[in-house]
Amino acid sequence: MLLFRGRYTKLVGLILVATMMMSFVVGCGGGSESGSDKVETIKIGNILPLSGSAAPLGKIGQQARDMAVEEINAAGGIKSMGGAKIEMIYADSKGDPATGVSEAERLITHEQVALITGCYQSGVAMPSTEVAERYGVPYFVPVPSEDQITERGFKYVFRLAEKTSWRNRDQVKFIKEMSEKFGTPVKTVALIYENTSWGQGAVRAWEKYIPEAGLEIVLKEPYPSNSSDLTPVVLKCKNLNPDIIMLVSYVSDAALLTNTFAEHQVKPIAFIGTSGGFADPQYFELTGDNCEYYFDISTWEPDVNRPFSAETNKKFTEKYGYAMNAEAVKAYVAMYIIADALERAGSTDPEALRKAFAETKITEGPTQMYASEIVFDETGQMVNAPLVICQMRKVDGKMQRVTVWPEEEARPGFEVVWPYPGVGQ
């Protein structure tokens, strides 16, 4: 360090100050250059977590969008606007609400995007949609599922994803259907959930739908998702011997619970997961055969029986080296819905675009891989966002997610195994 004392210190100091001044001045003055918009590109802003703990999820969303945009542009772009091409501008939210807000400001007022889409986390979607609403710029939300996003009376916010509570609603519907189909009476339900926003939201929905279906909640057990031992939770559950065990977990805790349930031979009529950790590819590696016959709910599965699903997933896998997940499918389909709205609006005027989104009705094309009909209600919420339930099954010696419900979208040749036969049965 001594080397840098004396005259070097002065130099370093000068350089530092100069850099700071420069960066500040450049940062503030750069705005005047953005007026050179070309007519033949339409800028779409996309806020995603590209750094931080959710970065891998942000990346797959980005890749799915890039693939969709490539296809749309290659097919002639937006024809009603003279074949205009879509240009994506990605912004990193770091998964932080305040950064999401400032990036939304930047996309709207500096990049002057026609609309915004994104942004994976509900926590970022909540405040950043409010920015767009204030400027009257359409904001299309493909993934975040927090109920309140479309319950605030906003005019410019549209959502493709299901509401969180719908998943819980359909889980209960599935239980009722199965218990009638197989003649197994179901009375009691235990809820085991990680104790942050996700788990808390799920419990609120379950508390509404489970009693409505005539079932009784006998256990509500929150736990911290970074727990290293969940035996007490499992034993508590075993003592109460509930008919159904519902779970909300991230991946490490999902695996820990599954393995501990197996170890203690807990045997309800069904285990039902709520996506997240149960849908993570790592889950199979961590649990081995212990997860066999577990159910999980999601919006899309690789084997789901829908048009365009297999082809698109194959193309994605070849391009990026891994398969799509439900979030990637929503991101991909979202670009086609945006393109459709732009096509019908014929301009990037926010009001025309908002109207086009509100009037969306798509019943063919690549969006079929997500839902047979894309329509938004007056709050901007996608009506009937589809949900499927899969069962973890051993196919050719390897554990797979096999879509079993609803029946018309199920993998052909597979029957639901109900009730739960126990580990290794």
Partner 1 sequence: MDIVQKKKIGLIVIILAIALSIPLFVTKPYYIHVITMCLLWAYLASSWNLFCGFAGQLSLGHGIFTAVGAYVTIMLFNDFNISPWIGMFAGGAAAVLLSTLIGYPTFKLRGAYYALATVAIGSGVMVLIENTMTLGPFHVGGAEGLIVRLMGNAPAYLQFMSKVPYYYLALAMLVIVVVFSYWLKNSRLGFYLSALKEDEDAAAALGINVRNAKLVAAAYSAFFTAIGGVFYAMLIRYLEPMAIAGPMMSNEMVFLAVVGGSGTVFGPVVGGITLHAISEVIQFYFSDMAQGLHLFIYGLIVVFVIMFKPQGIIDILQKYYNRFLGISDRGEDESSVS
Measured from the Cβ of residue 392, the count of other Cβ atoms closer than 10 Å reads: 23
- Taking CB under 8 A as the criterion, the residue among 148, 184, 282, 384 binding partner 1 is 148
Q: How far apart are CA 216 and CA 190, in angstroms?
A: 9
Binding of residue 20 to partner 1 (CB under 8 A): yes
Which range touches partner 1 (CB under 8 A), out of 51-59, 229-237, 251-259, 352-360? 51-59
Residue 233, both tokens: 């939770």
φ and ψ at residue 352, rounded to 5 degrees:
-65, -40
Contact 72, 339 (CB under 8 A): yes
CB closer to partner 1, 196 vs 282: 196
92 binds partner 1 (CB under 8 A): yes
Told to check if 324 binds partner 1 by CB under 8 A, we report no
C-alpha to C-alpha distance for 236 and 239, rounded to whole angstroms? 5
Q: Which residue has the tokens 């309800």?
A: 268
Q: One symbol per residue from 160 to 199: x for binding partner 1 (CB under 8 A), - otherwise; what is it? A: -----------------------------------xxxx-
Residue 200 interacting with partner 1 (CB under 8 A): yes
Contact pick of 41, 73, 102, 379 for partner 1 (by CB under 8 A): 102
Member of 68, 84, 91, 119 binding partner 1 (CB under 8 A): 91
> Could you give the strand order of the β-sheet that contains 41-48, starting from the edge strand earlier in sequence?
85-92, 41-48, 115-118, 139-141, 157-159
Distance of CA 3 to the CA centre of its chain: 53
Residue 147 per-residue DSSP state: G
Question: Please, which of residues 56-85 interact with partner 1 by CB under 8 A?
Answer: 59
Least Å distance between CB 300 and partner 1? 25
CA distance 103 to 331: 19
Q: Is the dihedral of CA 286, 330, 89, 68 positive or negative?
A: positive
105-134: contacts with partner 1 (CB under 8 A): 105-106, 108-110, 122-123, 126-127, 130, 134
Contacting residues toward partner 1, per CB under 8 A = 1, 4, 9-10, 12-13, 16-17, 19-20, 23-24, 26-28, 30-31, 50-51, 55, 59, 89-92, 94, 96-98, 101-102, 105-106, 108-110, 122-123, 126-127, 130, 134, 146, 148, 152, 195-198, 200-201, 222
